[in-house]
Structure 1
Amino acid sequence: MAEPLDPDGFAIEPSASGRLLCGGCAPDEACRLGVEIAGTQDGALRCDVTCARQWHGGPGVAHGGWIAAVFDDVLSMVVLRTEPRLVTKSLAIEYLRPVPVERPLTVLARIGTHAEGRWEVSAQMTLATAGPPLATARAELRTRRRDHYARHRDWLARQPVPHCNGFDTES
């Protein structure tokens, strides 16, 4: 990965062990969401994952935010094998059945279309033992502009800093 002094040089590339990990997980060489690339299946990237109990949203079921984060990670991974500079433009999840915690799951992700730095990708999550989809997702990913993070840093520097209670009470 690039030096922190050059945020726009940041790219997700395989680590020393060959894993594709986001910027938050790469230093520990472990995905905090539990996603493991398992290979390919019928032309799709296959990932294995188990929702740890700490990510539960209701009794025995995964939090929807964990499901969305897993999909965002896996949908990016299917493209990161080709393009290391990506951002997610949109992500849509359809929750079909409760996703159980502490049960092995499989996520299959595939590239639908790709043109001019725009990637349409989709995925589905099932129990590892098969069965109907528990959730599906689709996303639009974009090849990141060279100045993406610098533009963000400059924009953020122009934004007012909120008061300590989080709300600006001035009108």
Structure 2
Amino acid sequence: MIINALGEKDDTSPHQKKLKLVQLLRSINDQLVSSDLSEEAMAEACKQLELTHVRLSGFSERAYQAVFAPSDDGESAELGYNAKTLQGLYTPVSGCCNAVASEVTYFTETSEAHDPVVAHVCYGKAFEGGPGLVHGGFIAALFDELFGVVQHRQELPSMTGSLSLRYLKPTPLHTELRYEAWVVETRGRKSTMKAVLKNGDDVLVEADALFVTVLRKNYQKLVDQRVAVAKGGS
């Protein structure tokens, strides 16, 4: 039973208005990589997309939103992730507002803060590496992102120190897959974590990671610098 559905859709979010467009872009990309399109169809699609590109151009850059921005009083400011899902909105790995990302659902199966965080995903044709198989680089990217979600859940702004994977079996496309990640040990600012990728009960990939918590003042500097860039500063 899912106790804490990190991937539950938040219909009140203003970002929901982008979802239909993002889903259409993903669908178009799937058709491009999986279909032998006619020249006529591609020429017509190019015309329509050129018009869409012009229509969407010229708007100001969105305000930068950090995935996790700590405040001075020790509480996190919900700037860059969905408050209900802990999911980055624009990350290229699982962001629901980024068309290059796969569609990922995060959740936990208990309410305990240190229990595993799970990700469900079904990789389509756009993520193919070997014939009928998921590209290993995308598998690694989601492991890295999931470890980050584990840390964000505990309000620890962290960065990857090391990431090691063991590919035990090929990972199939068009299959409901399950990632599981958990903290093994925390010593000071360093957290050792493990994760697995499963197809049913079959373990396909194992992962180990070391994440290092960033000092709040240093993380805030990064946020401030990125916000300045988004506003056109130096």
TM-score normalised according to structure 1 size: 0.71
Q: Does 1:24 align with 2:91?
A: yes
Judging changes above 3 Å, is the alpha-carbon distance between structure 1 residues 12 and 118 closer, same or farther for their aligned structure 2 residues? farther
Q: Which residue of 2 aligns with 1:143?
A: 213
Percent identical residues? 23
Say whether the 8 Å CA contact 2:118–2:181 is kept in structure 1.
yes
Q: Which residue of 2 aligns with 1:59?
A: 131
Judging changes above 3 Å, is the alpha-carbon distance between structure 1 residues 27 and 102 closer, same or farther for their aligned structure 2 residues? closer
Structure 2 SS opposite 1:109: strand
Counterpart CA distance in 2 for 1:142 and 1:121 is 11
Could you say what the CA RMSD is over the residues aligned between the two structures, in angstroms?
3.3
* 70-79 or 42-51, which deviates more: 42-51
Alignment of 1:60-75 (within 5 A): 60-75=132-147
Alignment of 1:18-167 (within 5 A): 18-21=85-88, 23-24=90-91, 28=97, 32-40=101-109, 43-127=115-199, 129-131=200-202, 133-145=203-215, 146-147=217-218, 150=222
Write 1 or 2 for the structure with the bigger share of helix: 2
Q: Deviations over 1:98-147 (max 9, x none)?
A: 100110001111100112111111100011x322x100101011112333
* Letter of the structure 1 residue corresponding to residue 206 of structure 2: T
Write 1 or 2 for the structure with the bigger share of strand: 1
Q: Which residue of 1 aligns with 2:10?
A: none
Counterpart CA distance in 1 for 2:182 and 2:121 is 17
Aligned residues: 147
Q: Which protein has the larger Cα radius of gyration, Structure 1 or Structure 2?
A: 2
Q: Which residue of 1 aligns with 2:26?
A: none
Q: Deviations over 1:23-59 (max 9, x none)?
A: 5355828891322113227932222111121011111
Task: Note the residue ranges of structure 1 that are not aligned, 5 or more in a row.
Answer: 154-171
Say whether the 8 Å CA contact 2:128–2:134 is kept in structure 1.
yes
Q: Which residue of 1 aligns with 2:82?
A: 15
* 113-122 or 31-40, which deviates more: 31-40
Counterpart CA distance in 2 for 1:27 and 1:100 is 22
Counterpart CA distance in 2 for 1:17 and 1:108 is 19
Q: Deviations over 1:61-80 (max 9, x none)?
A: 01110010010011111221
* Cα drift, residue 83 of structure 1: 2.4
TM-score normalised according to structure 2 size: 0.54
Task: Note the residue ranges of structure 2 that are not aligned, 5 or more in a row.
Answer: 1-62, 71-75, 226-234
